[in-house]
Structure 1
Amino acid sequence: MNAEELPIDQLETEICTLAGQIAAATARFLFLLAEFDARRGWASWQLHSCAHWLSWKAGVGVHTAREYVRVAKALTELPRIAQAFAAGTLSYSKVRALTRTATPHTEESLLRIALESPAAHLDRLVRGLKKQTRTPEDVERTGGRWFYDDDGYLVLTARFRPEDGARFLAALTRAEYERTRTDDREPDLTAPAPPNPVPAMTAMAESVCATSDSPVVAPAADVLIHVGPDGEPLDTTHAHLDDGPGLDPQTLENVLCTASVRLIRHGRLGPTIAWDKSRRRPSRTLLRQLVIRDRCCAVPGCGRTRFLHAHHVKYVSQDGPTELDNLVLLCGEHHRALHDGHFTITAHGNQQFSFHHPNGARIDYAPPLSGNADDLTQRYRYIEPDAITADWSGEPLDVSFATDVLLRNWDLDERRRASGLATAA
């Protein structure tokens, strides 16, 4: 029977039944995702995280994929909530809210509230709990330092005052959004600061170097690379950063594709310095044409639109031409992965390119998806029509009172536990 032929009460029953079945199927989906992430089944040169794998393989938006991964990880520590989710009595929206604040010690009381309240009330309660459980940290001496370690990597340590740290995280969050977004949508105001700040910090550095000219007398404000003697072919075997570590040929090839770099050449005996004047950077017109053509990182499954590099398919050191038939846009991670040998690009002429694994297998842009709704309803046919409906009588939520009661009860339970442990000892 078509939906338009069903009576209202039957429509309502089927909608609620399907909502419970979808919740149970989503729980299974997230349990599998948590195990997949724990085994790092997604880890490869091509993908930045489990969320990126999910976005590419399952057609999920990157932000939604990040939330899926976060919730999946949290559920491994919350067995009671996970059980109710699998039974179809908790919706994904409620579980997502619960995992923002629940702990193994508080999940039981929060689960009872979630089963008896609508999702909107639960969202407000969780927000109230997160606000009231924040404690100001003691302000201590701030500072930081940097150095190159034995492997040649730059190491940074820093300690910020709380307000300065908030500004830094806000800047990181904006840089991460600009670095990873794939279209012109407004930013997601709920996105947290990136847990790994290094890519966003690199993007911030690229942005500053691209928009601010350095003083002529400040070498530290430029990326300076020392190469071979002046007047000879580029030496990729003895290149090194100014007052820094050496660069292997792959890293040097990567750096040569970027714009904010100055090469320093020396005389045969070393002391004479000369700026390398050869032009490797695409002209403004050529760069505009490249951006209009590619729009985003050209690697299948990426789609990033910010902080892109114009890569020479035939390397600059191999006299590769700076023209559209030899240029593609790559994000920073994939640019480095390419030069590290994790994949290759083949230019076919007429601005046509293909991407390949090291074994020669071609990389597809969009893996096929398949699914069957009938399989879902058959597998979860045990879900009752009202399983996901909250046992709520319509009473309003007093957030301040509810959060105060919960926090007092949790504190009392913690004291009882501590007292019991002390007595047992």
Structure 2
Amino acid sequence: MIDMAELGSEAGRIETGEIESEICALAGQIAAASAQYLILVGEFDVRRGWAGWEVRSCAHWLSWRAGVDLHTAREQVRVAKAMRELPLITSAYLSGTVSYSKVRAMTRVATAANEASLLQKALDAPAAHVERLCRGLKKAMRPSRRNGVDVDPCVGRWRWDEQDGSLVISARLRPEDGKRLLAALTRAEYERTRTDGDAVADRAAPAPADPVPAMIAMAEMVCDAVKSPVVSPAAEVLVHVGDSEEAGHDHAHFDDGPGLDDETLAQVLCSAVMRTVGHGRLGKTVRWSTTSSSPCRTQMRQLIIRDRCCTVPGCGRTRFLHAHHVTYRSRGGETSLDNLVLLCGEHHRALHDGYFVIEALGDQRFSFFHPSGAKILHAPATAGDAEDLRRRHSEVERDAIVPDWGGEGLDLSYATDVLITNWQQAA
């Protein structure tokens, strides 16, 4: 092992070959450590440990907690998921014989049936060849379009779930309508997850795997942009609030919909996007509210200038923000800047669901806490120990990551044809 202090002060005395050997040894140890890191990421993603209080995805959690660029984090999560189904590649990765670059390329096309042959190619070729080979294989393995297939008619249904009051939607769309919907969901997701930095990586994100948050954002946009017909209860978000037990409406409920528990009602009232219908004696409507305008426009401007985005650490969303009363209005909370924070829709719902709490410190300062009482930090510190890395992976051979390559070029067409033919014969 080369002493870094010696390298800096007496660099001329260290042989170039010794530096080369140390680089290769460290590369192998880094590969083994990154394999262990991705295995843990995959397990964390499966357990949805990142979803405890509505972080958008495991990639966003990595970006916040581990300091990983968002685009890189997305790719790491993809590789981690694929590794769970590829034991041979994972084993080689853990032993430090293949690098992350090779594993990243192989996981785009590898299956349980072909990973052995792909791994052998990766051991015998440099990373650049593996990357080109896997790109060529992915293109060659892409299924061709089928003609003459009957398309099921476009149909959709919705219903209220009697067990928990949630809305259940099922739909089948024609290809052209489905693509249009995915395009709209992608735009809504971009608007919904836009952050203060407006990162380019978010623009390159695919259509959302979970379309529900984007659908909610689309609903908010339509409700804001298109005025409701004069008489159309179905086009409004109406909440019936009973004034007395004699009225028969002693609990709150949506118009022609399920009832609301106290916490859900507090969240709905806090978001200020609906009308309330009061019921007095005999059930007669005695009060019809206008759409709530609290807090006022001046206060909203002040909140936006102060907070800029969702104030939950690690979020940063700048669209579809709600003004949340830290002390609920139903509990006497004031509509003042000392009691208001901006939250995105997801974190607003998560807070009312009990995933985290906010404490007002006075003078427009707030702290965020897990239910356990641990404080949620805006920028968690990261730390590492190079010597610990060496100790943990000291069994990795110093030249483990060096491929058995003789310098020959890659005939991409021939290589992809041979591999695909062999896989088809084996199948």
Give the TM-score category using the shorter length: 0.7 to 0.9
Match of 2:3 in 1: none
Amino acid at match of 1:103: T
Task: Answer yes or no: is 1:184 the counterpart of 2:198.
Answer: yes
Separation (CA, whole Å) in 1 of partners of 2:8 and 2:118? 37
Match of 2:259 in 1: 246
State the shift of 1:362 in Å: 3.7
The answer (yes or no) to whether the contact 1:326–1:351 under 8 Å persists in 2 is yes
Structure 1 segments unaligned to the other structure (5+ residues) = 415-425
Separation (CA, whole Å) in 1 of partners of 2:219 and 2:408? 53
Number of matched pairs: 409
Separation (CA, whole Å) in 1 of partners of 2:133 and 2:286? 65
Separation (CA, whole Å) in 1 of partners of 2:126 and 2:182? 33
Match of 1:146 in 2: 158
Match of 1:134 in 2: 143
The answer (yes or no) to whether the contact 2:239–2:274 under 8 Å persists in 1 is yes
Task: Answer yes or no: is 1:214 the counterpart of 2:228.
Answer: yes
Match of 2:211 in 1: 197
Separation (CA, whole Å) in 1 of partners of 2:50 and 2:35? 20
Compared CA separation, residues 63 and 409, structure 1 to 2 (3 A) = same
The partner residue of 2:130 within 122, 127, 137 is: 122
Structure 2 segments unaligned to the other structure (5+ residues) = 1-5
TM-score normalised according to structure 2 size: 0.83
Match of 1:92 in 2: 100
State the shift of 1:278 in Å: 7.5
Compared CA separation, residues 215 and 97, structure 1 to 2 (3 A) = farther
The answer (yes or no) to whether the contact 2:243–2:249 under 8 Å persists in 1 is no
The answer (yes or no) to whether the contact 2:277–2:285 under 8 Å persists in 1 is no
Match of 1:422 in 2: none
Match of 1:316 in 2: 329
Separation (CA, whole Å) in 2 of partners of 1:370 and 1:236? 57
Amino acid at match of 1:302: C
Tell me, what secondary structure is at the counterpart of 1:257?
A: helix
The answer (yes or no) to whether the contact 2:272–2:292 under 8 Å persists in 1 is no
Amino acid at match of 2:228: S
Compared CA separation, residues 279 and 160, structure 1 to 2 (3 A) = closer
Tell me, what secondary structure is at the counterpart of 1:220?
A: helix
State the shift of 1:178 in Å: 3.4
Per-residue CA deviations over 1:361-419 (Å, capped at 9, x if unaligned) read 54343443321112223433444454334426252443x554443333222211xxxxx
State the shift of 1:219 in Å: 3.4
Separation (CA, whole Å) in 2 of partners of 1:291 and 1:245? 34
Over the residues paired in the alignment, what is the CA RMSD in angstroms? 3.1
Task: Answer yes or no: is 1:58 the counterpart of 2:58.
Answer: no
% identity of equivalent residues: 60
The partner residue of 1:168 within 177, 181, 193 is: 181
The partner residue of 1:28 within 36, 40, 45 is: 36
Amino acid at match of 2:160: Y
State the shift of 1:83 in Å: 1.6
Match of 1:417 in 2: none
The answer (yes or no) to whether the contact 1:173–1:192 under 8 Å persists in 2 is yes
TM-score normalised according to structure 1 size: 0.84
Compared CA separation, residues 142 and 209, structure 1 to 2 (3 A) = same
